[in-house]
């Protein structure tokens, strides 16, 4: 049981993770006006910065490159809005949400329907050691790791090395892997249509950019902004679930609501980064009730302060999670290779 109290009803009623569902349901309805506003204040600066960076190429490549990096933050926010569309939390109308998400998927180079399916599987099995798969960062238990061959241990360590996870991985994932419906290759035409349709739209836009501006806008604006956004996105996803006191269970002991609330962090970011990441740091609340629009999440923390400290991580604290790679079922926490070696030799 999650030993928290809902202060809106007095500090006398301990709430289980499941009990919060009824409390959070009051925040689920999106506002059309607010959603359009959030989309506009993200999409308009993104477009303006692209144009300004393109113009600046004639004066300074470094200026164009710098503006593209700033624009990477707006891509992160566009992806967060696409994410809400995937949860049907950005607009009341599911069809509108889906088509806005598909359009944004062109800008974030992420085929919307493929991503939505993978992300749905992540939500439905988060924290379940036996159902890791699409949309997850593979996490082995200490027992599983020690039973691996030397080759498999090497491959596991290589995959989870920071250079692979946060440098090579994001660029590969967004630039290359997203061009095919990986994981859904045999799941039907819908996912091929999503991937190929997104690819065609991206190719048309980049083709036009090349026709009018040559290779420089592609190399100095498109690639840096996209890769930076991908790197930030992967880091956010990582730290939202890979922290010392996260929550994992085998299938027989796994509870979706407990895993959502206790296995997701509250990444306490500075206000500017919170804005660019569309409050996704309030991830424990999002995982517990994914139909809540991102712009209502801060109000929930304000109304229910007990949720504020749950799995709270600062940026400084989150950096330590990079050294944690294995789930210790006995101690119920993520541990480092060094700890495992000291314990077992």
pLDDT digits (tens, 9 = 90+) for 180-192: 998 899 998 999 9
pLDDT score recorded for residue 11? 43
pLDDT score recorded for residue 141? 94
For the chain, what percent of residues have pLDDT higher than 90? 78
pLDDT score recorded for residue 14? 63
State mean pLDDT over 204-209. Answer: 97
Greater model confidence, 161 or 309: 161
**Domain extent at residue 238:** 4-344
Q: Into how many domains does the chain fold?
A: 1
Q: How confident is the model at residue 238 (pLDDT cuts 50, 70, 90)?
A: very high
Contact 90, 84 (CB under 8 A): yes
**Spatial distance between the Cα atoms of 203 and 10, rounded to a whole number of angstroms:** 56
Q: Average per-residue pLDDT in the chain?
A: 92
pTM: 0.91
Whether residue 2 has pLDDT greater than 90: no
**Spatial distance between the Cα atoms of 176 and 164, rounded to a whole number of angstroms:** 15
**Spatial distance between the Cα atoms of 122 and 102, rounded to a whole number of angstroms:** 20
Whether residue 16 has pLDDT greater than 90: no
Contact 178, 114 (CB under 8 A): yes
Per residue in 313-322, pLDDT (tens digit) is: 999 999 999 9
pLDDT score recorded for residue 18? 84
State mean pLDDT over 178-207. Answer: 94
pLDDT score recorded for residue 36? 97
State mean pLDDT over 36-43. Answer: 98
pLDDT score recorded for residue 87? 96
pLDDT score recorded for residue 13? 58
Per residue in 52-87, pLDDT (tens digit) is: 999 999 999 999 999 999 999 999 999 999 999 999
Contact 111, 178 (CB under 8 A): yes
Residues 6+ apart with CB under 8 A from 235: 166
Per residue in 262-315, pLDDT (tens digit) is: 999 999 999 999 999 999 999 999 999 999 999 999 999 999 988 887 788 999
Whether residue 132 has pLDDT greater than 90: no
Residue 337: closest CA among 327, 24, 88, 76: 327
**Spatial distance between the Cα atoms of 126 and 221, rounded to a whole number of angstroms:** 35
Greater model confidence, 12 or 258: 258
**Spatial distance between the Cα atoms of 334 and 111, rounded to a whole number of angstroms:** 32
Whether residue 29 has pLDDT greater than 60: yes
Whether residue 1 has pLDDT greater than 90: no
pLDDT score recorded for residue 10? 47
């Amino acid at each position: 049981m999650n030993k928290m109290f809902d202060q809106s009803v007095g500090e006398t009623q301990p709430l289980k993770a499941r009990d919060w569902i009824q409390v959070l349901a009051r925040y689920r309805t999106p506002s059309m006006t607010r959603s359009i506003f959030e989309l506009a204040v993200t999409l308009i600066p993104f477009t303006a910065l692209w144009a300004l960076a393109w113009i600046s190429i004639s004066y300074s490549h470094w200026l164009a490159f710098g503006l593209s990096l700033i624009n990477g933050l707006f891509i992160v926010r566009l992806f967060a809005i696409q994410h809400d569309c995937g949860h049907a939390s950005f607009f009341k109308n599911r069809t509108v949400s889906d088509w806005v998400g598909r359009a944004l998927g062109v800008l974030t180079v992420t085929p919307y329907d493929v991503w939505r399916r993978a992300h749905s599987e992540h939500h439905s099995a988060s924290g379940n050691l036996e159902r890791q798969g699409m949309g997850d960062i593979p996490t082995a238990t200490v027992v599983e790791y020690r039973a691996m061959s030397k080759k498999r241990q090497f491959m596991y360590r290589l995959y989870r090395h920071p250079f692979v996870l946060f440098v090579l991985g994001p660029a590969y994932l967004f630039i290359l892997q997203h061009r095919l419906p990986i994981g859904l290759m045999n799941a039907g035409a819908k996912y091929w249509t999503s991937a190929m349709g997104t690819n065609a739209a991206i190719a048309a836009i980049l083709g036009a950019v090349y026709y009018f501006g040559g290779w420089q806008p592609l190399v100095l604006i498109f690639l840096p902004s996209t890769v930076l956004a991908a790197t930030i996105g992967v880091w956010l996803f990582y730290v939202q679930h890979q922290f010392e006191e996260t929550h994992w269970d085998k299938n027989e002991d796994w509870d979706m609501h407990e895993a959502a609330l206790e296995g997701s962090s509250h990444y306490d970011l500075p206000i500017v980064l919170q804005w660019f990441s569309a409050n996704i740091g309030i991830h424990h609340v999002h995982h517990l009730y994914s139909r809540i629009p991102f712009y209502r999440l801060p109000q929930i923390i304000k109304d229910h302060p007990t949720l504020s400290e749950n799995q709270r991580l600062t940026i400084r604290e989150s950096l330590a999670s990079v050294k944690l790679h294995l789930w210790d079922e006995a101690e119920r926490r993520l541990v480092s290779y060094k700890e495992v070696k000291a314990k077992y030799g």
